[in-house]
Amino acid sequence: MSAPRHKTVGSSKASDNAKAKQLEASTSTFAHILTTNQGLQIPDNHNSLKAGTRGPSLLEDFILREKITHFDHERIPERAVHARGSGAHGYFKPYMSMVQFTSAGFLQDPDIETPVFVRFSTVAGSKGSADTARDARGFAVKFYTAEGNYDLVGNNMPVFFIQDAIKFPDLIHAVKPEPHHGMPQAASAHDTFWDFASLMPESTHMLMWVMSDRALPRSLRMMEGFGVHAFRFINAQGDAHFVKFHWKPKLGVHGLTWDEAQKIAGKDADFHRRDLWEAIDSGNFPEWELGVQIVDAGKEGELGFDILDPTKLIPEAQVPVQIIGKLVLNRNPENFFAETEQVAFHPGHLVPGIDFSNDPLLQGRLFSYTDTQLSRLGGPNFHELPINRAVCPMHNFQRDGMHRQTIPKGRTAYEPNTLGNGAEFRVDGATQGFQSYRESLESPKVRGRSPSFDDHFSQATLFWNSQSSAEKDHIVAAFRFELSKVESTDIRQRMVDNLAHVDMKLATRVAAPLGINSPDPKAAAGRLGYRAYRITNKVDEDPSLRMASKPGGSIKTRKVAILVADGIEAATIKRIQLDLTEAGAICKLVGPQLGNVVTANARQINVDHTFANMPSIMFDAVLIPGGPQCIAALLGMGEAVHFVLEAYKHCKSICALNEGAQLLGSIGLKPAMSKESVKTPEAGIILADTRKAPEGQISQDFIAAISLHRHWDRANVEAVPA
């Protein structure tokens, strides 16, 4: 609970009101007049003060010095990790009261909306890196609650590389560009990272996630979030439960192909940032549901692994996720720097009813985040920046420091005291406000880990067993790509030897093209850091761990490219375009050049994008219209043919109408329609005769195909030259 604020000393309401009116008047008058930071009107913003028109600039030009000084310091040090981020405002609303488990106020009343700010980010790259690098993604939520700010600082993966925070600097030094030449940027495919990973078997589970499609999200709006660590819920009676947090996207969980991610990085490095901004700006507000896995304190030992180990997850097949509320992002930042860059998250920003566990990675983060904010934001008063400021009353005797914005009033800066408001005095054993969980601790002090942390492979095996066939293929391909970039054969060998403890078939497939020996699990067993201990998972596989089981049923905000050229039969696409739009998709006409194309009946339609500036990697599906002249023109354009080939290779839905089927002939699909009005010769490929198909059937089939996201079982995609 916050104590009352000091009474104003030596001031009056009349004086304050006068200042407020003066400020309002001056703000209105000079809203479009340049001034210094102190409000002095600037007479000339084009010329510095000089000794003559061709003479040297003068040191006394304080207007020049203020402007240049501010410019010189308008970039703050970037984050050591999670430097590249995107943010948005929104709200959180619980579906039910969680009073049985926690006294946290924002989780009690379904009628109360709590303001939030959310920041998504990549981990390894600099601020200037591309959005689509293979990487874990940060998913940090700041709740502005009536009891103070609560920060749920997580990732889009439920586990992490290391078990103890003391190894975090080593992990980041290994994955960052190699120090002797500063390369590669935002990539783990190099010797230092895999040298570290191959010597740290505890990283194996996280490596499986990072080599999966989870590391290549289609959109920030289409990825899960996790609190990673075990926290505690504490209710009003002091009863504790362990809790793991989950964010479930309403649009489903979707990924890119690796080929697609690399090409997008070159075509639009801001792909995810732009997608989030445009969705909110157009009113398609992203939504997630908050879920929790709750484990009774004292029963965590029945899980079969240590709940304090951040390299472990609780399988949903073992402890189901309870959905307890929703998160909606409905407002973009007004200023990227002031909000997205200056927002300061901290896992130690708690509210009553939520507490830490003894997870050694989490414990280390409690120091690291404060230390980072002091350096990055210039001092101890980063909490006073507008984006970080709590909405509840604040009262303490912490004073001064760099960048202080509030003006504490009164003569007392200590407690207990009798000179302030008369209510501030020492209270021992208070029961109000935040209460740490009363936990019995064992001794003696020791620098080490519990033997219950020693299993490094069982859950990696569970993850592998839970993947679909296509997702397994993608994991193998990712390991092959990454390790093929490693120059040291010893490192490549060590890594596949480790993978042999996950699954021998996986390790053998990864090793095949790497120019090394077959995987040898005995070799891995003899290395430093390896433990022979291995648990037996309570479940053999968990469908929640595969993305293929979470396609979502909506095509809302999915982007559909409609290919156009002169001679297009516009009538063939009109109904389908309308149906797609009504289903929530975004349709764009893509042609050889901007401006207009002329339809078969001599009408003009506007082109939104060209094949060059908006290639197929920017879309989720492709619609090819009818019209002999149009299709003949498209067949003569290499960019148009490549557009279709690439969409096919990336397993996207393609609908070809009438003569449009000819564009698919170059990938081996026979364009002949036979007697059927609509047919699907390959997964996600729809060939339709608009003259025969029942009204609405083409749209219905196309929408159903797009809703599946991708068609990973499509044949011969490796043979497509795109």
Q: Average pLDDT, stretch 400-423?
A: 82
Where is average pLDDT lowest: 55-64, 118-127, 604-613?
Answer: 55-64
pLDDT of residue 708: 93
Q: Other C-beta atoms within 10 Å of 85: how many?
A: 22
Where is average pLDDT lowest: 302-306, 399-403, 466-470?
Answer: 399-403
pLDDT of residue 623: 97
pLDDT tens figures, 167-176:
999 999 999 9
Contacts by 337-340, CB closer than 8 A, 24 or more apart = 337/74, 338/385, 338/386, 338/387, 339/87, 339/117, 339/386, 339/387, 340/85, 340/86, 340/87, 340/119
Residues 287, 326 contacting (CB under 8 angstroms) = yes
Question: How many Cα atoms sit within 13 Å of 168 on the Cβ side?
Answer: 17
Does residue 188 register a pLDDT over 90? yes
More confidently predicted of 430 and 12: 430
Residues 257, 116 contacting (CB under 8 angstroms) = no
pTM across the whole model: 0.91
pLDDT tens figures, 283-314:
999 999 999 999 998 899 999 999 999 999 99
Residues 433, 390: Cα–Cα separation, whole Å: 16
| Of 80, 94, 362, nearest in space to 228 by CA | 362
Residues 501, 521 contacting (CB under 8 angstroms) = yes
Collapse the DSSP code of 590 into the 3-class scheme (helix H, G, I; strand E, B; otherwise coil) and give the result.
strand
Which residue intervals of 254-411 are DSSP H helices? 258-267, 271-281, 360-376
pLDDT tens figures, 560-588:
999 999 999 998 899 999 999 999 999 99
pLDDT of residue 424: 62
Q: Other C-beta atoms within 10 Å of 526: how many?
A: 9
| Of 412, 408, 409, nearest in space to 422 by CA | 412
Residues 712, 651 contacting (CB under 8 angstroms) = yes
Q: Which DSSP helix (H) or strand (E) runs through 355? A: strand 354-355
Residues 448, 162: Cα–Cα separation, whole Å: 14
Residues 414, 228: Cα–Cα separation, whole Å: 39
pLDDT tens figures, 32-46:
678 888 778 888 888
Does residue 720 register a pLDDT over 90? no
Q: Which amino acid is at 624?
A: I
Does residue 75 register a pLDDT over 50? yes
CA-CA-CA-CA dihedral for 183, 185, 190, 196, to nearest 10 = 110
Which token pair is 667? 């990938």
Where is average pLDDT lowest: 18-32, 120-134, 173-187, 500-514?
Answer: 18-32
pLDDT of residue 461: 97
What secondary structure does DSSP assign to 108-177, as a single string? T-TTPPEEEEEEEEESSS-TTS-TTSS--EEEEEEEEETTEEEEEEEESSSS-S-SSGGGHHHHHHHHSP
Q: Helix %, strand %, coil % for the chain, to 5? A: 35, 15, 50
Question: How many Cα atoms sit within 13 Å of 584 on the Cβ side?
Answer: 14
Q: Which amino acid is at 531?
A: R
Where is average pLDDT lowest: 547-551, 705-709, 711-715?
Answer: 547-551
Give Cβ neighbours of residue 246 (< 8 Å, ≥ 6 apart). 158, 224, 225, 226, 227, 290, 291, 292, 293, 321
Residues 327, 92: Cα–Cα separation, whole Å: 5
Task: Name the pLDDT band for 9 (thresholds 50, 70, 90).
Answer: very low
Residues 295, 303 contacting (CB under 8 angstroms) = yes
CA distances from 534 to 306, 359, 456, 538 (A): 12, 20, 7, 13
Q: Other C-beta atoms within 10 Å of 196: how many?
A: 21
| Of 504, 505, 494, 496, nearest in space to 529 by CA | 494
Which token pair is 338? 């002031």
More confidently predicted of 565 and 682: 565
Residues 426, 407 contacting (CB under 8 angstroms) = no
Triad 674, 680, 681: Cα angle to 5°: 75
Residues 568, 719 contacting (CB under 8 angstroms) = no
Give Cβ neighbours of residue 287 (< 8 Å, ≥ 6 apart). 249, 250, 251, 326, 327, 328, 329
**Bridge partners, 20 (sequence order):** none
pLDDT tens figures, 477-520:
999 999 999 999 999 999 999 999 999 999 999 999 999 999 99
Averaged pLDDT of the chain: 90
pLDDT of residue 338: 96
Residues 387, 490: Cα–Cα separation, whole Å: 48
pLDDT tens figures, 131-158:
999 999 999 999 999 999 999 999 999 9
Task: Name the pLDDT band for 13 (thresholds 50, 70, 90).
Answer: low
**Bridge partners, 607 (sequence order):** 595
pLDDT of residue 445: 75
Residues 195, 255: Cα–Cα separation, whole Å: 28
| Of 124, 163, 207, 204, nearest in space to 365 by CA | 163
pLDDT of residue 695: 80
What secondary structure does DSSP assign to 481-537, as a single string? HHHHT---HHHHHHHHHHHTTT-HHHHHHHHTTTTSPPP-HHHHHTSTT--------
Residues 170, 195: Cα–Cα separation, whole Å: 11
Residues 652, 255: Cα–Cα separation, whole Å: 12
- Catalytic residues, by residue number, are 82, 155
pLDDT of residue 674: 52
Residues 219, 253: Cα–Cα separation, whole Å: 9
Residues 456, 202 contacting (CB under 8 angstroms) = yes
Does residue 8 register a pLDDT over 50? no
| Of 390, 282, 386, nearest in space to 329 by CA | 282
